[in-house]
Structures are given as C-alpha cells and as structure tokens.
Amino acid sequence: MIAETTVAAPRRRLRLARFGPLVALVVLLALPYCNLTIPGVFETAINKPGTLQVLALCLVFGSLATGYDLLFGRTGMLSFGHALYFAAGVYGTDILVTKAGYPLWEAALLAVLGTAVLALALGAIALRTNGIAFAMVTLAFAQVGAITIGRNPGDVTGGEEGLSMDTAGVPDFLVGVSNTVNLYWLAVLVAVVTVAVVHSIAAAPAGRVLSAIRDDDRRVGVLGLDPYGYRLFAFTVAGALAGLAGVMYSLLIGGAIPHVAASDQTLTLLVMVVLGGPGTRWGPLIGGMLFTYLDHRLVAFGHSEAVDSLPSVLGGPLSQPLFVLGTLFILAVYFFPGGLAGLRTRLGPLSRLVPSRR
C-alpha cells in the first residue's frame, strides 16, 4: 500500500501540473456566466459588473507581478522603479487616444513598444550598477517620471487630477458598465499573454542563464556569457509586460491617475511577489491577485458594522486596510517564507501522515 501511494503521488502531481492551468483558465473564462453570490467574499453576484471589475483588476496586478518577477525572482534584480513602466503604459495609451486621436489598438501597440524602448534605454544605464546602487538608480528614474506626470508638461498628463480617456477612440464593446464583461475577458487575455511570455523565457536556455545570474553572475561570466546583455533583455521584457498591464489598467479605470507612477507602487509589487513566492511558476500571479483582492475588500471590511462595534483600540487599526495588509504579510512571511507557492512543499510531509484509502 505504501509503495502504491508513493508511486501514485507523483502521478497526481504530474496531472495537476499538466491540466491544472487549463482548468483554471476555463474557470476564469466561465465566471461571467456564473450568477452565484458568495456572502462575505463579493458584495454582488460574480457575473455583476462590480465583481467582474474587481476580478479584472486582480488579473491586471497579477500580470504586473508576474512580469516583475522576471526581474526579481528569476534574475535577482531588485528594482524600485518598475512602476515607471506601468505608468508609461497607462499614460501612453491614454495620451495617444485622448490627445493624439489614435484608435485604441494602435495606441496600445505604440504604448507597449514605447515602454519597451524606455525600459531598454533606462536599463542600459541602470544596469551599469549592481545591488543597492541599481535599486537606487531605478528609484531615481521612477521619481523623475512621477514628478513629470505631476507637473503636467504641455497639459498632456492632467497633473494631479489625472487624465480621463476619450471614449471616441475606444471600440463600443469596451465602453460602458454593460461591457465590463468584455474588459474582464480582455484582462484574462493579458494575464495569459504575460504568463506565457515569462514561462517561455524561463523554460528556454536564456531562462536558465538568468537563473544562473541570480545565483552567481561571476560564474556566468567565466563561462563566456555576458550577464549585462541577459539582464538588459530581462529588464526590457519586464518593462514591456508592465506597459501591457498599464494598457489594460487604463481601460478598466477609464483613464490615468498619478498614483500609478508612485514609488510605493513598486514596493506593492515586491510584496505581491514575496507573498506569492518569487521565482515560482504561479506564485507571483496568485500573490498579485490575492493582494489586490484584499486591498479592495478590506476597505469595505474597515467600514463594516463589525469593526465599528469594536473598542477603539481594536477598531481603529482594523479600519485601516494597510495595517491589516501589513499584518497579514508579516504573518505570511514568518510562517510561509517561500510564499503561497511553497505551501505544497511545506504541507507535503503532513499529507503523507494521512492514511491512504484503497
């Protein structure tokens, strides 16, 4: 019996790894057809515009965290300026549609390509440094971008008030509350593309070189490979993927807001990746989606009657979403240092203690 269980376990894991992502994708695509109401999880039924909007935002930030993990988890580069490329996608799309009069699809393509070029140019400079110096240089670039957006040069960014998108350049099936389902499906597509790109790179020879650079870049140099070129490649691809997520975000919120360029946006990405599990297959996507959901849901929780009825010493902190998120993050890092993706490994020994049934 023990031998059969030992053999069957790897088979189950293989089937889960092979068909699990496909099942998850089918479930995501089918959610707009589900009118189930889950009390305490969503305020309305799953197929209602409000819930689909939240789910689409979760997918966007899950995609953004997955792209950032190409830098942090898979190549070992700690960038504090990744929000700059997300903001470039958001504002690039909005400005091209609203100010320049481009159709959405042309604007989206130009925004992603422009973000990739921006990442290539700035990465070529920042990657001349390493470690903390690299993190500070990327942060400096991001701060310049945030200040530029706030000062509204040429009246193109809208300054502190942001910039609403002109829907004349957006297809009709993506405009209006009734078409939220189409935006949701588009967010699913963005997530699929991002995951496919990152996983393809990780499985390719270049991905193995990136992992070697993360572990010890000097050994890579000894082998005759150029760590700088591979780092610049990862930096550019991650920037382009951030731009793609920015395009989707601008459609979801109907424009651009200055907060997308703030430095704490990159810190939030770092928390998402660490929460899900850096360098893992699905961890950053799950971490980004979970963090975004909790960030949204805890706002409603903080103003609920249950929290208001508590003494001020408890109700005060619990009414602050950032306090609750920070506490949950500390607990998650302490008890699950490998992130949510490492739960299976940590719980594996416990599962073997459960007697099997024939």
User: Is residue 295 one of the residues assigned to a domain?
Assistant: yes
User: Is residue 334 one of the residues assigned to a domain?
Assistant: yes
Question: Which of 72-86, 160-174, 277-291, 341-355 has the least mean pLDDT?
Answer: 341-355
User: Is residue 106 one of the residues assigned to a domain?
Assistant: yes
Q: Which of 296, 342, 348 is nearest to 322 (CA)?
A: 296
pLDDT given for residue 306 in this prediction: 64
Is pLDDT of 235 > 60?
Answer: yes
159-214 pLDDT tens trace: 999 999 998 989 999 998 989 999 999 999 999 999 999 999 999 999 999 999 99
User: Is residue 2 one of the residues assigned to a domain?
Assistant: no
Sign of CA dihedral 200, 205, 211, 214: negative
Question: Which of 93-97, 233-237, 250-254, 260-264 has the least mean pLDDT?
Answer: 260-264
User: Is residue 267 one of the residues assigned to a domain?
Assistant: yes
Evaluate whether 122 touches 232 at the Cβ level (below 8 Å): no
pLDDT given for residue 43 in this prediction: 82
pLDDT given for residue 142 in this prediction: 95
7-28 pLDDT tens trace: 455 666 656 566 778 888 888 9
Question: Which of 112-121, 130-139, 329-338 has the least mean pLDDT?
Answer: 329-338
Evaluate whether 181 touches 48 at the Cβ level (below 8 Å): no
In the DSSP assignment, the letter for residue 355 is P
Q: How many domains does the chain have?
A: 1
- Token readout for 135 is 């993190």
- Token readout for 32 is 């707009």
Q: Tell me the average pLDDT of the chain.
A: 86
For residue 256, the SS3 value is: strand
299-331 pLDDT tens trace: 776 666 666 666 776 667 766 777 777 787 788
User: Is residue 223 one of the residues assigned to a domain?
Assistant: yes
Which CATH number do you get for residue 318? 1.10.3470
Burial status of residue 192 (CB atoms within 10 A of its CB: 0-12, 13-18, 19 or more): middle
Evaluate whether 171 touches 44 at the Cβ level (below 8 Å): no
User: Is residue 237 one of the residues assigned to a domain?
Assistant: yes
Instruction: Give the side-chain half-sphere CA count within 13 A for 148.
Output: 13
Distance between CA atoms of residues 220 and 331, nearest Å: 36
- What distances in angstroms separate CA 175 from CA 101, 181, 261, one per listed residue? 17, 11, 25
pLDDT given for residue 358 in this prediction: 44
In the DSSP assignment, the letter for residue 154 is G
User: Is residue 305 one of the residues assigned to a domain?
Assistant: yes
Evaluate whether 156 touches 92 at the Cβ level (below 8 Å): no
pLDDT given for residue 74 in this prediction: 93
Quote the domain boundaries for residue 65: 34-352
Is pLDDT of 242 > 70?
Answer: yes
Q: Which of 330, 280, 262, 274 is nearest to 87 (CA)?
A: 262
Evaluate whether 235 touches 81 at the Cβ level (below 8 Å): no
